[in-house]
């Protein structure tokens, strides 16, 4: 049960009564990205959260009809958390927060955690297949953690964890450089000067990158 409330008969205030608590929207982010997730998966994707606080936030979201919990059958045989249809309605909220916050990423904090699967958001927000009639491509991206694959096929962009033996291109570098490139704040030449490593036909990368920069 929620113990804090703004006490206002306003839809924004009522939303913030539930979603304005620390970590809540980041739990939603993880479930949007991962789909049905184990408790341990959520903890891994939320570095810094206390286990009792994660359990509390999940209970609150479950009570509010945003998250559901189900017992997966063997061989998984564990509790899985996922978003309900009501929870899925928060997708555009997360997208717009990511879009609005992109300019705030200019000055990286050396102490801030980064996980490679968080590339999902800038890929979803800013990349597009500008040559949908061309053959499908796979680009492997490495930020020092789990490799991610960005795939373009039939005009659609997808991102997933993994690696392939022969990607069409590989992209690696510091998270802040990669994020700036993928969001359009740096062009390829500028990113290279900041340590970006790219192998493959440059046209592949140009096919995916945003054509307009993120507003400052």
CA gap 146, 198 in Å, rounded: 17
pLDDT value of position 1: 46
Q: 3-class DSSP state for residue 153?
A: strand
- pLDDT number for residue 115: 92
Count the alpha carbons within 13 Å of 175 in the hemisphere toward its beta carbon.
20
C-alpha distances out from residue 176 to 119, 140, 180, Å = 11, 17, 6
Rounded percentage of the chain residues whose pLDDT exceeds 70: 96
Q: What is the CA radius of gyration of the chain?
A: 19
Beta strands in the chain (DSSP E): 67-71, 79-83, 137-142, 148-153, 156-161, 169-172, 197-199
Question: Which class would CATH give 11-89?
Answer: mainly alpha
Query: Mind listing the pLDDT tens digit for each residue in 22-48?
Result: 999 999 999 999 999 999 999 999 999
* Per-residue pLDDT tens digits for 148-183: 999 999 899 999 999 999 999 999 999 989 999 998
E strand or H helix at 85: helix 85-88
- For residue 206, the number of C-alpha atoms closer than 13 Å in the C-beta half-sphere is 4
Q: Label residue 76 by pLDDT band (50, 70, 90).
A: confident
84-93 confidence digits (pLDDT tens): 999 999 999 9
CA 215/CA 106 separation, integer angstroms: 12
Taken in order 44, 47, 48, 49, the sign of the CA dihedral is negative
Please identify, in words, the CATH class of the domain defined by 116-208: alpha beta
CA 6 → CA 10, 17, 19, 209, distances in Å? Answer: 9, 7, 12, 42
**Would you kindly state where each structural domain of the chain is located, as residue ranges?**
11-89, 116-208
Spatial CA neighbour of 211 closest among 146, 156, 130: 130
Residue 108 confidence (pLDDT): 67
Q: Which residues contact 19 (CB under 8 A, 6 or more apart)?
A: 25, 28, 90
CA-to-CA distance for 193 and 178, rounded, in angstroms? 12
């Amino acid at each position: 049960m929620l113990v804090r409330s703004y006490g206002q008969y306003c839809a924004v205030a009522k939303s913030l009564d539930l979603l304005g608590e620390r970590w809540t929207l980041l739990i939603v982010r993880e479930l949007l990205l991962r789909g049905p997730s184990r408790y341990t998966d959520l903890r891994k994707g939320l570095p810094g959260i206390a286990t009792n606080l994660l359990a509390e936030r999940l209970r609150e979201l479950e009570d509010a009809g945003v998250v559901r919990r189900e017992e997966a059958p063997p061989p998984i045989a564990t509790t899985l958390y996922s978003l309900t249809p009501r929870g899925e309605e928060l997708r555009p909220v997360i997208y717009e927060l990511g879009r609005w916050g992109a300019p705030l990423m200019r000055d990286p904090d050396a102490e801030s955690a980064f996980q490679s699967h968080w590339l999902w958001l800038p890929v979803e927000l800013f990349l597009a297949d500008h040559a949908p009639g061309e053959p499908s491509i796979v680009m492997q991206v490495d930020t020092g953690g789990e490799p991610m694959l960005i795939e373009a096929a039939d005009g659609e962009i997808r991102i997933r964890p993994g690696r392939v033996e022969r990607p069409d291109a590989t992209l690696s570098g510091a998270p802040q450089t990669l994020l700036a490139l993928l969001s359009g704040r740096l062009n390829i030449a500028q990113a290279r000067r900041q340590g970006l490593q790219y192998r493959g036909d440059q046209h592949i990368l140009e096919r995916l990158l945003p054509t307009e920069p993120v507003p400052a």
